[in-house]
Structure 1
């Protein structure tokens, strides 16, 4: 294995610098982007489906430093009716930054706190760093020394460097034995009630020197290596150790980890985010490109720190960031110590209302978004796709990085600049419907869309079946709520993927996959439906909503159904063919 870097030149050239004796290139042919990504996933590994709650809204800060503060944050979300699924615990929850501990003064009853959060529909996510404080009275350190799991220098002495707790040892995650040792320590945090984990500082980072000296020794799966040879993979091996440990401790569950550092193949173990950004319009502007590039690199379950980690966003910047991020795979606000509070209600009533509107929309779109995650896990397709996926031969589309496809059928074009009251939107070929007004637009074309603070230009492809659920305060709050199928007349194929959202039973066929194929000739809409898989959702009503002119007759398998306001109510979903006559 070798370490190296790629330099992309302004002239389009690519320069690859590599340290070591080996240069290996894998060339993946398409010709379509989707085919390239499918082959990349086959080569480096497919992501697993995450627990469904991770698709909701997450609230974080460095740090919510006490039980009292965490309870206040949770209470505000529920009282203000702003949906939220997860509260994150940054490093200050620990006892002196010692991993796998917690501060008994700030959190005197951590299990009780987490149980109460669960009762209110929240999940809890804890940060863990790789650095283990040099302290023989600290059980993780003492056991690590005894078990010989820490990285060493060439003379055999233990390598140590300063991080948050002070001087730290670092596990050698390139050793299978060490990965097993690391994974067992999560048991105490699981017993306390944590649901997910955040592996940070795992480039690896040390203060002053930035990272390990190049001659630090690694096991490297028994082959032996120096740090300069395995540096880029250290973070991936850490989250591998974490994920595999969680899978042993909680078998049959979807255990979720996200990571700051990654390498090709990390999607098998973790999701990610863009790291410590700034509260600037420039950082908001470059975020979509960063996330689309991560998706093209296999790490599609990614997001940014909404509002910026460093600094203080204006109310306008925070609102624009959150409304844009509602259409990102990972949806989390996070900010640094010493910055102003950055929850959705901190910027006045107008911004709070805007944030609530788009967080609610995110939850309504979860049936569609979860289906995108199935496509990612099964086929390597990112949820957030560059516009050139529509036509890879169109060079104009390759340069567009401020709007994107969110799955097969949604086109998102948010305002990303200060004071932007309108923006140009590139509409790809075909018919698209304005999500807010149902007005059709014929592409390819460029149109101007108004962008008041509460409006993100959003379009739906003709022929789409867009599944939507209810507004809910957390994932799973309303398991038997009606499922809405929004029909936008045209010709296309759509999918709806469903399962229990928590277990691994889907890997044995316990899922439900529905394929919709729509045809429309201007007068009659025909929708054919095919269902596979053994999982059955809770019994629920189905609402079919037609986004078109007046519907005057609807047949389900040749049986007529009553139509009111272009909607049809069904008691079950056993039908196979829908026919609708449009005035």
Structure 2
């Protein structure tokens, strides 16, 4: 028992009534209370499911000693023993600055230079580096609590010597652990609105927890197999006023998440640092981009997975190393950690979304093709080309206005669009002009009266500079600001009835550093440690960190600015239009999917950016933002015809599809290209529009069940090792596999097809895959899409607009399994009303195939019934020609069968899907 004498181990099984959004019931059982007390009464007694192994069990230097020192002692034996570790297992002790040998050892750390200047640190923590000591674990309102104390301050300025530990077992698969300063009111993230609550089941928790008492650390294991998920005993816990650090080993090197960065789906663990600090920055490597999502998912062995979420909005740097291990560093707030045990990847995402909220249900029309350009300078140009306007529309680039000369008939143009079944969206930047040539600008004047703008440390409005010149910035954490924003939108909408809003520049971007007057010299502007951010300082390209907002300083709230604006905009559109809101945001933070879609920013028109748009879209899918896409054909630079065709084909399978181009670049609207290219683009667009019923149903499942829409292959095939690393292909739901061309000049591509039968969506040609790569033909007019056996895809005949396509007959694509069965479903409502699922104002139909027939089962029939007419179906995998076909018992004359592909096609049906129907074929 000597190994465990340094540990207090708690492994709790909580009640069925823990809430899914991580609110825990107030009372713990008497048994747990007695268990904890018994540990305190007998400190040498251990309670655990199994013996504790620290870090890598093969590295004995990481195992705790029975007589480890209470504080660091400079002794030869200690250093020889504690500093001998593999280079890849070193944790950096000189993250803040380069240290000499003497300075490193003054910190109580080990100094061992290596031949290369990059890679493992030269100055690193010894094992069991002195830190906090865990006090008694006692029952609390939400679980267990304890006090952590350290006898001596760390080397950090304004070190916090006493911490409170809270341990909350939220659900069977979610553990919540909080480390905070009990003596001060440090900023804690509060997401914009309460997440709906639901009950957890009463099965056993999926994890065990173990706590090292001195120095404090904790381990989370998967209960089913004992695998270590989290082990923080490998590095010290540091907690100072502006520096929080926590290290852990990882269960594998297959890590995804920690966005937003220009990266592959799997992160590089070779001493990589990722900074989470929202920045106006075009996507490129080694840069912090527009959004911050401190969440990662790890693929384990055997198809299992887990995730970790750090609910912290300060500037964060995450260092990944090949141990494999990870270190969190935050510049403020608290350590508010959630651990999601899955056990499969999709369950991990569901558990994460139970904390941050399920994504919104988008309006049906938002899934159509959107066309935009910065540079459509008049309504006449807009009428010809687009459904969107960039800032060109605004009078002197001031939002909530329109230029009286170039856009004087903007209201009439929007009404014309509506009569043609076209929607209209325009841009809003958060920067409010603080000057006006006429002396009045109502949004600013009214905002002044209502005190809605962010202020500097002197209490005056902070003035920055964006497109209109000197600008003030709304504080969306202020309820009065949200009401003012709604009033501004309402007033503008009464003149220009826009259908949705595109919120840009909301990191927030600023063309001067901090403010027009600069920023004060404070620790907020120049903290003891600044993560690796573009520009070198936290206020580069944005506001002063000392700027004052209703909830806290901008230092604490910066990463959430876009989220709070998205919440305010979603709320305003809902109230003003009385319909389902559409919001598209550039800046993002965890939870933004509840209020907005996201696009991936100012991508370049080149093949590399085309290729990296896939992992970008898939990352946002993991972050609970299914409505996402990249600017088709690229935003910056000039596209080529081939690139634009291939991007249009891939973009047809972005959940959000928009062609958007920068000012002064070569035109890239589909109609500017040669006829062959136009035909290829039209084919891709028609394919998307035919699949809109299926895509809309996927969004319904994302909204109600936290499923993913665009899906990495490892989510659906977690036990297939080939799928673990693929990010050049992706799935729509579990049914469609998309394999785009991503290289210039290619007319063939190598694609991986997981085990099973995959049918070519275009012609039904079956591929019987053993889980293998195949060489597929991909001429310029083709994108390879395959339907997975056992699935039924609801489709519609395409039309020029979503309004028109919704009125067309449905048809089903039935992909029979080897056993002759298939399943699919359709969610259908009016596409625009609020809360149709909640009010049950929708239709939901299940389709099943088996025994040579397809049968419908309408489970909910409310609203839009006249649109539900089945016009035909195609069945892939029919083994032989049918002798006849029956529809609801009546013979059908319009059917064909192709013996080479084994496809049965039935047309000219008029079967109401509001009733049970049966289509049979006799072999």
- State TM-score, norm by structure 1: 0.93
1:198 deviation in Å? Answer: 0.3
1:342 deviation in Å? Answer: 1.4
SS at match of 1:59: strand
SS at match of 1:334: strand
User: Which residue in the other structure is 2:857 paired with?
Assistant: 529
Q: Distance in 1 between matches of 2:801 and 2:400?
A: 27
Q: Distance in 2 between matches of 1:31 and 1:249?
A: 42
Is it true that 1:38 corresponds to 2:350 in the alignment?
yes
Bigger fraction of residues in helix: 1
- Say which of 364, 376, 384 aligns to 1:52: 364
- Say which of 637, 640, 646 aligns to 1:314: 640
User: Which residue in the other structure is 2:335 paired with?
Assistant: 23
Is it true that 1:477 corresponds to 2:804 in the alignment?
yes
User: Which residue in the other structure is 1:545 paired with?
Assistant: 874
Is it true that 1:572 corresponds to 2:572 in the alignment?
no
Q: Distance in 1 between matches of 2:488 and 2:331?
A: 35
Structure-2 change in CA distance of 1:8 and 1:424 (3 Å): farther
1:555 deviation in Å? Answer: 4.8
Structure 1 runs not aligned, ≥5 long: 75-86
Asked if the contact 1:495–1:515 (Cα under 8 Å) also holds between the matched residues in 2, the reply is yes
SS at match of 2:670: coil
User: Which residue in the other structure is 2:767 paired with?
Assistant: 441
Q: Distance in 2 between matches of 1:99 and 1:563?
A: 56
Q: Distance in 2 between matches of 1:557 and 1:92?
A: 56
Aligned pairs for 1:181-330 (under 5 A) are 181-191=484-494, 192-209=496-513, 210-220=541-551, 225-251=552-578, 253-330=579-656
SS at match of 1:144: helix
Is it true that 1:99 corresponds to 2:410 in the alignment?
no
1:331 deviation in Å? Answer: 0.5
Is it true that 1:7 corresponds to 2:318 in the alignment?
yes
User: Which residue in the other structure is 2:480 paired with?
Assistant: 177
Moved more, 366-375 or 12-21: 12-21
1:466 deviation in Å? Answer: 1.3
Asked if the contact 1:271–1:301 (Cα under 8 Å) also holds between the matched residues in 2, the reply is yes
SS at match of 2:636: coil
SS at match of 1:426: strand
Is it true that 1:343 corresponds to 2:669 in the alignment?
yes
1:366 deviation in Å? Answer: 0.9
Cα RMSD, aligned residues only: 1.9
Structure-2 change in CA distance of 1:115 and 1:563 (3 Å): closer
Is it true that 1:493 corresponds to 2:820 in the alignment?
no
1:484 deviation in Å? Answer: 0.6
User: Which residue in the other structure is 2:411 paired with?
Assistant: 111
User: Which residue in the other structure is 1:77 paired with?
Assistant: none
Structure-2 change in CA distance of 1:582 and 1:116 (3 Å): same
Q: Distance in 2 between matches of 1:573 and 1:560?
A: 18
Is it true that 1:515 corresponds to 2:842 in the alignment?
no
Aligned pairs for 1:546-565 (under 5 A) are 546-547=875-876, 548=878, 549-555=880-886, 561-562=892-893, 564-565=895-896
1:347 deviation in Å? Answer: 2.1
| Greater C-alpha Rg | 2
Aligned pairs for 1:449-464 (under 5 A) are 449-464=776-791
Aligned pairs for 1:375-414 (under 5 A) are 375-414=701-740
User: Which residue in the other structure is 1:81 paired with?
Assistant: none
- Say which of 364, 374, 395 aligns to 1:62: 374
1:388 deviation in Å? Answer: 0.8
Higher relative contact order structure (alpha carbons within 8 Å, sequence separation ≥ 6): 1
Structure-2 change in CA distance of 1:528 and 1:232 (3 Å): same
Instruction: Detail structure 1 runs of 4+ shifted over 6 Å in the superposition.
Output: none
1:558 deviation in Å? Answer: 5.9
Q: Distance in 1 between matches of 2:734 and 2:826?
A: 12
Q: What is the number of equivalent residue pairs in this alignment? A: 563
1:376 deviation in Å? Answer: 1.2
1:119 deviation in Å? Answer: 2.0
SS at match of 2:696: helix
1:27 deviation in Å? Answer: 1.2
Is it true that 1:333 corresponds to 2:662 in the alignment?
no
Q: Distance in 2 between matches of 1:219 and 1:62?
A: 34
1:144-168: per-residue Cα shift (whole Å, max 9, x none)?
A: 1111111111111111111101110
- Say which of 103, 120, 145 aligns to 2:420: 120
SS at match of 1:218: coil
Q: Distance in 2 between matches of 1:576 and 1:6?
A: 56
Q: Distance in 2 between matches of 1:283 and 1:355?
A: 19
1:498-551: per-residue Cα shift (whole Å, max 9, x none)?
A: 10011125130011111223336xxx3564634224234215353132233423
Q: Distance in 2 between matches of 1:319 and 1:463?
A: 31
User: Which residue in the other structure is 1:79 paired with?
Assistant: none
Q: Distance in 1 between matches of 2:888 and 2:341?
A: 43
SS at match of 2:328: strand
Structure 2 runs not aligned, ≥5 long: 1-187, 189-311, 514-540, 897-904
Is it true that 1:152 corresponds to 2:423 in the alignment?
no
Q: Distance in 2 between matches of 1:141 and 1:283?
A: 39
Q: Distance in 2 between matches of 1:55 and 1:227?
A: 35
User: Which residue in the other structure is 1:504 paired with?
Assistant: 834
- Say which of 338, 341, 359 aligns to 2:685: 359
1:170 deviation in Å? Answer: 0.6
- State TM-score, norm by structure 2: 0.59
Asked if the contact 1:493–1:516 (Cα under 8 Å) also holds between the matched residues in 2, the reply is yes
Q: Distance in 1 between matches of 2:807 and 2:501?
A: 29
- Say which of 129, 138, 155 aligns to 2:429: 129
User: Which residue in the other structure is 2:214 paired with?
Assistant: none
Asked if the contact 1:233–1:262 (Cα under 8 Å) also holds between the matched residues in 2, the reply is yes
Asked if the contact 1:554–1:578 (Cα under 8 Å) also holds between the matched residues in 2, the reply is no
Structure-2 change in CA distance of 1:571 and 1:494 (3 Å): closer
Q: Distance in 1 between matches of 2:782 and 2:848?
A: 30
1:34-90: per-residue Cα shift (whole Å, max 9, x none)?
A: 22222222211122211111100000001211112112225xxxxxxxxxxxx1110
User: Which residue in the other structure is 1:162 paired with?
Assistant: 465
Asked if the contact 1:281–1:417 (Cα under 8 Å) also holds between the matched residues in 2, the reply is yes
User: Which residue in the other structure is 1:82 paired with?
Assistant: none
1:445 deviation in Å? Answer: 1.9
